[in-house]
Each structure stands twice: as C-alpha cells, then as structure tokens.
Chains A and B, each alone.
Chain A
Amino acid sequence: MAGTYNKDDRIPTIKLTVMQYIIAAILVILVSGLWRLQVLGAQNYRALAEANRIRKVPILAPRGKIYDRDGRLLVDNYPSVTCFLVPEQARNLDADLPLIADGLHMQIDQLQAILLRYRHQPKYQPIPLRQDIAPDEQAFIAAHANELPELETIEEQRRLYPSNGFAAHLIGYVGEVSEDMLDDPRYAFYQPGDVVGRSGVEESYDPVLRGQDGSRDVIVDSHGRELGALGIEPATPGKSIKLTIDLDVQKAAEEALGPRQGAIIAIDPRSGEVLAMVSHPTFDPNQFAIRIHRNEWNKLITDPDHPLMNKAIQAQLAPGSTFKIIEAIAGLQEGIAEDLKVDCHGGAVFYGRYFKCWITARHTSHGITDITKGIYQSCDVFFYTLAEKMGIDMIAKWAHMFGLGQKTGIDLPNEAAGIVPSPEWKMRNYHQKWFAGETISVGIGQGALAVTPIQLVRALAGIGSGGVLKRPHVVFPDEVPADLKEYYRDQFPGSGDQNIHIDPANWQTVTDAMAQVVTFAGTAGFAQLQGIDFAGKTGSAQIVSNAYKASVGGGAKLNDTAWFVGMSPRRNPEIAVVVMWQNGSEGYFSARLAARVIEAYVDKERLRDHNLMQVAAKANPEAVKPASPVPAAPAKDKSAPETAKPKSVGKLHHPRVAGAPPTEMAALWTSNLAHPADPQAKQLPPRISAAFSMPKGKTLQAGTFLLPPPPQGKASRVP
C-alpha cells in the first residue's frame, strides 16, 4: 500500500523561512502598487473614471426668429420630430414591421431596406426611420409604446424660411459649420456639427441669433447606453431680431423683378434702412434646413446664373448712364457743367476717335443740350464733353466721394467693392498708362467702371438727399446688443455715413432733371406715376462691345444691363429704389419695375397715415381695448382702389398702439406667392404650419400666424 518515507528526512527550516520571506516580499510589492494607484493616483484615476461614465448631451438652443420692420414673422423655428428604431428593444422585429409600416405610412420593403442599410451597426444604436413625421404618426408611436418598444422619437428645432425663395439672399440659410470656418477666429467657440448661419442675415447676425446651447450630463456604460441623468444646464434661446425690411415693399419688389435676372433694392435714404432686397434667380433655403441633397447642391453651385449669389451687393457691373448723375453733380460743384452747352449731332470726335450718342439708333440727335436736358435725355455727347473737361482724376475723386469703388458697409456678408478706374488704378493693376479716350467712356458709366446695385442706390439717393449718404443696413442698430456693436462696426467696414456739401442750386438742378426723366420728355416716360413725385435715372450698360455682339450674332445673354435708380419724392426722398436687370436692354424697362416698388411703398405710407389718423380720432378709451383679431386679409387688398381702403386698413397695417395684444396678421409669404421664376414652386406641407403655436380655442387658418405686440419705441418711426 502506501509507501513509507523516512521521518528524519526533512527540509531545512531555513528554506521554508526563505519561502515565507519571498511570499511576504511579493505581497509588499503588490501593496506598494496599490498604494501608488489608490493613494498617489486616486484623484487622477477618479477623474478618468468620471470621464468614462459621464457624457455631455447637448441641448440645442433655438435660434432667434427674424421679423420684418412691422413685426411680421419672416423666419421661424418649427419642432421637427424624427422617428428612430432601436433594434435591441424589439421583441420580434419582423412581426412588428407591418404595423410600423402602417402607422408611419411607409412601405414594408422601404423599412426593410433601411434596416438592411444599418445591419452592421450595434443593436442598441437607433436607426433613423423618418424625419419630420406628422402629428398623427407621433400619436401612433405614443399609443403603441407597449407593443412597439423599439420606436423612439426625437424632437429638434428646424428653421422655417419663407417658401419659393422669397428674400432668400437677404435672409440666408443655416448649415453645419464647415472645416474651414472652424479655423476662423470668428468661429473659435463652435464645435464640429454645430449649426451656424452660412449666408445673409443668418450669417452676419449669427452671434445674435444663435443662443447658448445647454447640456445634460448623463451616465453611460461602456456601450454608450444611458444609465441615468445627473444635471441639466438649460439652453439660452437666441435673440430674435427685427429687420428693416418691409414685407409689403419686399413683396412688391419680388413680384416686380419676377422671372428676370437681376436685383432690386429699396432703401430709406434718410436712415440707410433697407426696405427690400431681391436677387433673382433665387433658391429655397428650406432645402438647407434639412441637409440639402448633393444633387440639389451641385445644381445650385454650378448654375451659370449663380442662384446663390446676392446680386444686390455682389454683382459688379458698369453703371451706364446712371453714373451721369454723379458726374453731373461733380461737374456742377466744380463749376464746369453749369454753363456748358453742347451741340449733339449723334456723336463727336474725342482724341481722334468717334464716340456715338445712343440717340443715333433712333436716327436723330439731341441738338443743343445743357445739363438738364443732358440728364433727362441722357445725352452721351454732353457727358463725353463734360468728362473731357473734368478729366479722369476729378471724376474718380467724386465717384469715390459718393462711395463707389469701396464697400458701403452693409451688414451682410461678402459685399463686393466695385471699381472706380483712374490712372493710378490702371498702373497698379495693369502696369499700363491711362489713355485719354478711356476718360470719355467712363463719362457715360462704361469702361472699367464697376458698381454694385447697393453702391449705386446709396450714391444717387445721397444726391437726392442733398449730399447726405447713410450706411445701408438691414437690421435696426438698436437690435444689436451693446457688447456686439463694436464687433459689427469692425466686421462690416465701408464708407459708412457721409456728408457731402452740395450747393442747393445744383441740387435743385439735378433733382429736377431727374424728375423729368420720368416724364414723356425724358428717357423713361412710361414709368411715370400719377400723383407721386417720382424722379430717377435710366442706364443701359454694355457688357460686351457692339462689335463683338455683332460678331457672335447677338443673343439675349449679351444684351445690355438695364439700370434704373428712382426715388420719391425727388428731393429728400423717403424711398430710393435701384433696379438692375441683367440683359434687360433698356433702362426704361427697369424704370417701370422700380415704379411699381415705389408705388407700393407710397400706397402703404398713405394707408398708414390714414390708419394713424383713425387711431388718434378714435380717442383713447377704446384705443386701449384689445383690438379683436381680424381674419387674414388677402395681400392684394393693398392695391385696391381708394374707396376700399377703410375696409382693409385694420387688416394690413398694424395699429401702432403701445401695449396692444398679439394680433393675427396676414403672413404674406405663405399666401402661395406666385413666383414666375419657379414654375414648380413648392408649398410647405400643411402640417408644418399646423405646428405653430396658436391661441387656444381658435381655428387655424392657412397663412395666419401669431404676432407679438409691436415694441413701443418704433411708434414714432413715421415722420
């Protein structure tokens, strides 16, 4: 059985003692390691453990809304609900699919295709099924929470812009911040994935409109599943801003320009406030609000008509004859033009070359022409002569003085500066000498001279205002928070406000001549407006030489740019309008477009005066009573005959009573603005308008929205 072993055969005790010391030493080493981690490194590892388990989930701040000058809503946010499917939470996904498809109004194979696309991602990660789901679909998901635990919804705020590209260039759009932008110090505080304004007011006033995102601290496990919540830092919503834009004038300008390519700007020369700004062709910024499709984007950026370009501040074109106004005031101020009389024979020779007057196309001539006739008949020979007498340096000096060749400083991104040619300019850029003949071309607004519509309207309106030029702007300065005022001054440098001395006699001469332009003696007789003091100047600027145009056989794309700058009244105007119609051929075509905008403005101001009188006459006991909401009026009421006005007054124009309750008003842009430029004009789906907050107990009407009471400070705006 068991073997026997010698009991005296023993291991020396010393060896076992050595083993004991080795064991002790090993354990001491282990304790020292624990000490290093748990005592010396405890704080560090504690922080690492916290970083492991706590995730910051952002709470997105809603962006500020954008209103027109009367407080009518232009840009809103709407809560958009996206439906997700979490495969992990499903009991039997395949069996649930028919019910899900039915509730979300989708096809089963459509659902299966989505699931197939996401089959490789972990089961706990939500799969987006549909964005922007309708209220009844939301209700379906809520009602089936028990049967379909795999369905989840997430609500986020999306931007809702006017449809059909209305004022799209002015307002701009939002998008995810790009890699390039993150390198810009302006965007230092942005994270990748943040939504920022990428164009227009959305970009330039992004610091005001964007709020401060909040965050939620959640506890997660190593797979990112949420285990619980710690704390919430609420989001601060962005500040809403009020534009100087007048929705009625903007609408008139949109409709006036219609399908034509070009731009219309209406400004109030007394303050520089922009009343309307239109650039066509346009685009639909709503496409950008929900991640624009690659094909749509490519179409926009490769379109030869540059639909994304805001032509009102970015197109740099020869001003043509509209420049003659600047030249005339310069010539008069310099004492050269006043007594100048030129005999126009349909052309004249300067520096050995024959320069034609436009009138030769009508086989006649202007005959003896003075400064007044030179303006209203736009006689080229008169201004060739004047330019020759003034010289290029003097012309350039005055053009600069009126803000050409430099940015105006309008508070919109990427304004262009334009070009005022001069000998130094040519030497600097082309290393060539100035030819005297070029001065003659500049004299009628041709040659290298290039202006933007905003520069031109500011300059001519400034002359109409007796030499007072304002910095144009689209947001009321008092809408800008004090801490950002300096930022905006630096951000949009330009010529700003200018006061140019103009002799009253000269002022009268030029403005009277401009008023004659829109009589049948002038170049834009058909643009005259009954009962409205209207003045302006036409311009037709060649974009290629006549010889070249003939050589390629013409074509509408090479037609002249048709300019018109008009204002009302002729002196100290309240409104000035520039129309730039690309390939529109003749300035007097543009003049009729400008006339429609001015008419819309004047009509509205007359209504407003009337309205104010009514409110005053009603006397106070009733005026403080809340005005009962009036149903939305069709926008066309505005141009209704005089007799119809009292009926529509209360509907269209906000009674300017301080403390008035919110009033429903017509939001013109939702009234299916027939936009000829976009035959397939899309309407926003009706469910989006249903998402707006409505007072309880009221029925929702298409195109009606809630307006806040007007701020008190603005009541005295009408002079």
Chain B
Amino acid sequence: MRRFLSYRDFDWTLMAFVVALSVISVLEIYSATLHTKFVHFDEKQMLWLAGGFVSMFILSLIDYHILLDIAVWAYGFCLVSLVAVLAVGTKVLGARRWIHLPGGIHFQPSEWVKLILIVVLARFFSNLSGRDLTWKDIFKAMALVGLPMLLVLKQPDLGTALTYAPVLLVGLFLGGIRFKHAAILCIAASLALVPAWYKVLKPYQKQRLTSFMSPDNDPRGSGYQIRQSLIAVGSGGIWGQGAEKGTQTQGDFLPIPYTDFIFAAFCEEHGLAGAIFVLLLYFLLLMRLVQNAQTAADLPGTLIIMGVVAVLIFQIAVNVGMVIGFMPVTGIPLPLMSYGGSSVLFTFLALGIVMNIRMSRFVN
C-alpha cells in the first residue's frame, strides 16, 4: 500500500526555500561572529544543518501514521524527560534546561516536546470524527498541552513554553471549536492572565515582558538589549551597511547577534531590502506548507502540517517582533536563521514529517 514513495513527490520547492534561508543563516552567523570568540560558529551551524537535512530525509521515509500510532508512548516519554530535566538537568544561567549524557552530548528536551505535541494533538483532533468540540474535548486538549507547558515553565523557560500554545490554538481552531466556546475561552484566558502575572511569573520575566515598551527608561539595564537591537535595525536603513560592516554587530553592542538577535544583525547589514527578502522567503515557505496541508491525504496529515505552521509563524512573529521592539525579549530563536542545534533539529524533523505527508498524498 504505502510502499511507493517517490522522491519525484518530494517537495523540492519547499526545499529550495529552506536551503535559501539556511545559506543566509550561515552567512550571517559568519559575519556576526567574525571578530568574537564564537568565530567558528558558522561552520558548526553547517554541521547542524547537514545533520538536519539527513534527519529530514530519513524522517520523510517513515510513514507519519507510525508516528501517530506511537504518539501516546512518545508523549509519556516527553513527560518523563521533562521531569528528568528538573531532577538531574544542568543549571545554566539559573535555569535547568539541558540534560547532559555521557560522551559530551547535551540536549534540551523541551525542543522535541514541541514536535511530539504537534503529533499528539493531530491524533487527538482526528479521532473526534468530524464532530464539533465539546467542553470535554477542549479540556482534554488543554490538559495535553498544559502538562508539558507547566513542566517547561518550571525550568523556567517561558519562551519555549509559550511556543506550545499556538499548537493548541490552531488545533482547536481547525479541530472545530464552536464560536461560543472560543469566546468564553478568550474571556476566561484574559481573566486568568491577571493572577498569572502576579503569582506565576518571576520578577525578571515580568521586567523582560515590560521593558520592550519603554527601552529608554533604563538604557543600561533591561532595556539595553532592545535599545541596541532597535539601533542595529534602524541604522541599517534601506540597503544596509553591508556584510561584516554593521557597527552594532561588529562592535559587540548587539547582544547575541548569532542566535536570538540574528535578525537584527541581518537587518543592520542588509537593510530593509534584505529583511523583506527574508520575510518573503518565510511567507513562501509557510504558504507552501499550508498548501501541503490542504493536499494532505487525511485529517491528521493536515493537522500535523498546520501544527508545524503554527509553531513556525509564532516563532517568527515573536522573534522578529522582539528585534523591532513590538514584543518582549523571550529568548525564542528565529527558525532556520538562529544558531543552535536543538532549534535546527526541531525544524528539520518537522519538515521531514511534512515531506512524508506530502509524498503520501497519492498513496492509497
């Protein structure tokens, strides 16, 4: 039945956008780390990307229905690994996010949790056989996402925890939530925000969430990153200052210009023109993904791809929003641009599943 996968059906168009963004990413990481002690990060990123492409091709050969079948086990493994992080994880900068394994390997479980959540929710909403969601379904879905979210919040890693939310929201929307329920949920959520603000969030998190609105109040303190990012983006102008010539990036004024603030570094060196080009690539990539969702063979396929879309657009919006002062500093990387193995791996594994869904569309 599903044995006739062909690379003729592989989405080479999508692949082209991904490669383009990856090349831009490596070049910008090279420029941003040129005169720093991170000088070979562009080469390391290429290794990560190579690993990412290989994983993508491997995963594209595995039927996504197998993933759907093992989703329950995977979900259980997720929870265990998140608890393990809290118990035995390494503390870096006050947060336990990493697990170190023998042999120098370390990884961040919260990244692959994203992927598994997408699959688990797709399975959950597909099994409702087309009927509208009841309150019970809604709460079940919320619990499925809420449990790992709380564990990640406990690390604490607010940014990653927040990326789980759009998977749930898009799932609810596509899964068939009623307008009335949605309205009630919105009101309840906004009411819940008030106690959450005062009870759950730590003071530094609150400060990070508010300082983006008035970075000039405290230019040396928490507003510093936002301020330097705005200066970097703004001084790029329309055509940019040229590769390796951004004074904010090269002078180390811009914080971490190869990960979270890589888009600011890119905007400084390549201007509005470059920024629009990159956003256009993202737009085409996402449109292609939605198109693939539409042509998927069945409902879980559609839901998985839309879950990936949800995570990607959320990360793009929050990261670029942060760089241009629309959003608080949350430490969410820009997919396909920011340096980092976990992020690269997540994106390419997700794309691997998407590829498989696309290649399976004519398979009966």
Contact = CB atoms under 8 A, between A and B. Distances in A.
Given A1-B69, A33-B321, 16 more contacts: A5-B300, A6-B130, A10-B302, A11-B299, A26-B316, A30-B321, A34-B267, A36-B324, A39-B237, A42-B235, A46-B235, A48-B234, A49-B253, A52-B228, A221-B251, A221-B252
Interface stretch (B137-145, B278-286, B339-347): B278-286
Interface string A33-53: 111111101101110111011
Interface string B247-271: 1101111000000000000010001
Closest 3 A/B residue pairs (Cβ):
A45-B234, A2-B65, A49-B235
B283 A24 contact: yes
B230 A19 contact: no
Nearest to B293: A16
A23 interface: yes
Interface of B: 2, 63, 65-66, 68-69, 126, 129-130, 170, 173-174, 228, 230-238, 247-248, 250-253, 267, 271-272, 275-276, 279, 282-283, 286-287, 290, 293-294, 297-300, 302-303, 306, 309, 313, 316-317, 320-321, 324-326
A1 B236 CA distance: 55
Contact of B237 (A1, A6, A20, A38): A38
A15 interface: yes
A31 B69 contact: no
Interface residues of A, number: 45
Interface in A13-27: 13, 15-16, 19-20, 22-24, 26-27
Contacts of B313: 22-23, 26
A22 B170 CA distance: 11
Given A6-B298, A221-B253, A222-B253, A15 B129 contact: no
Contact of B252 (A34, A50, A223): A223
A219 interface: yes
A3 interface: yes
B80 to A, nearest CB: 24
Contacts of B317: 26, 30
Contact of A9 (B130, B233, B321): B130
A33 B325 contact: yes
A42 to B, nearest CB: 4
Contact of A34 (B69, B233, B287, B293): B233
Nearest to B306: A19
A7 interface: yes
A3 B64 CA distance: 10
A208 interface: no
A227 interface: yes
Contact of A33 (B2, B316, B326): B326
Contacts of A38: 233-234, 236-238, 267, 271-272, 275
A220 interface: yes
A51 to B, nearest CB: 9
B40 to A, nearest CB: 20
A42 B130 contact: no
Contact of A45 (B174, B233, B299, B326): B233
Contact of B286 (A2, A5, A23, A30): A23
B266 to A, nearest CB: 11
Contact of B63 (A2, A29, A221): A2
A1 to B, nearest CB: 7
Binding site secondary structure of chain A? helix
Given A15-B173, A27-B282, A37 B233 contact: yes
Contacts of A33: 320-321, 324-326
Contacts of A227: 250-251
Contacts of A3: 65, 68-69
Contacts of A22: 313
A232 B166 CA distance: 56
Contacts of B248: 49, 52-53
B234 A46 contact: yes
Nearest to B235: A49
A11 B173 CA distance: 10
Most buried by B among A3, A6, A13, A30: A30
Given A2-B66, A11-B174, A38-B267, A27 B283 contact: yes
B17 to A, nearest CB: 14
A154 B252 CA distance: 27
Given A2-B63, A15-B173, A33-B325, A222 B252 contact: yes
B234 A31 contact: no
A5 B282 contact: no
A9 B131 CA distance: 10
Given A27-B283, A222-B253, A20 B272 contact: no
A23 B66 contact: no
29 contacts: A2-B63, A2-B65, A2-B66, A3-B69, A5-B126, A5-B300, A6-B298, A7-B297, A11-B174, A11-B299, A13-B294, A23-B290, A26-B316, A27-B316, A30-B316, A33-B320, A34-B275, A38-B234, A38-B275, A42-B236, A45-B234, A46-B237, A48-B234, A49-B232, A52-B231, A52-B248, A52-B251, A52-B253, A221-B253
Contacts of A34: 233, 267, 272, 275-276, 324
Contacts of B173: 15, 19
B247 A19 contact: no
A37 B230 contact: yes
B234 A5 contact: no
Contacts of B247: 49-50, 52-53, 219
Of the candidates A3, A38, A48, A222, the one having the most CB atoms from chain B within 10 angstroms of its own CB is A38
A42 B273 CA distance: 13
Contacts of B66: 1-2
Nearest to A29: B326
A2 B231 CA distance: 53
Contacts of A2: 2, 63, 65-66, 68-69
Given A30-B320, A45-B235, A48-B231, A39 B279 contact: no
B68 A39 contact: no
B299 A5 contact: yes
Contacts of A49: 231-232, 234-235, 247-248, 253
Nearest to A24: B283
B127 to A, nearest CB: 9
A31 to B, nearest CB: 6
Contact of A23 (B238, B250, B283, B320): B283
A612 B297 CA distance: 119
Contact of A35 (B170, B272, B299): B272
Interface string A45-64: 11011101100000000000
A2 B235 CA distance: 54
A135 B126 CA distance: 86
Interface string A380-399: 00000000000000000000
B248 to A, nearest CB: 6
A39 B272 contact: yes
B319 to A, nearest CB: 10
A49 B246 CA distance: 9
Contact of A53 (B233, B251, B272): B251
Nearest to B254: A222
B89 to A, nearest CB: 31
A37 B324 contact: yes
A20 B299 contact: no
Given A24-B283, A45-B231, A48-B231, A9 B253 contact: no
Contacts of A52: 228, 231, 247-248, 251, 253
Contacts of B283: 23-24, 27
Contacts of B235: 42, 45-46, 48-49
Contacts of B231: 45, 48-49, 52
A10 B303 CA distance: 10
A208 B343 CA distance: 66
A346 B339 CA distance: 107
Given A7-B297, A39-B272, A45-B231, A219 B320 contact: no
A34 B237 CA distance: 9
A15 B317 CA distance: 20
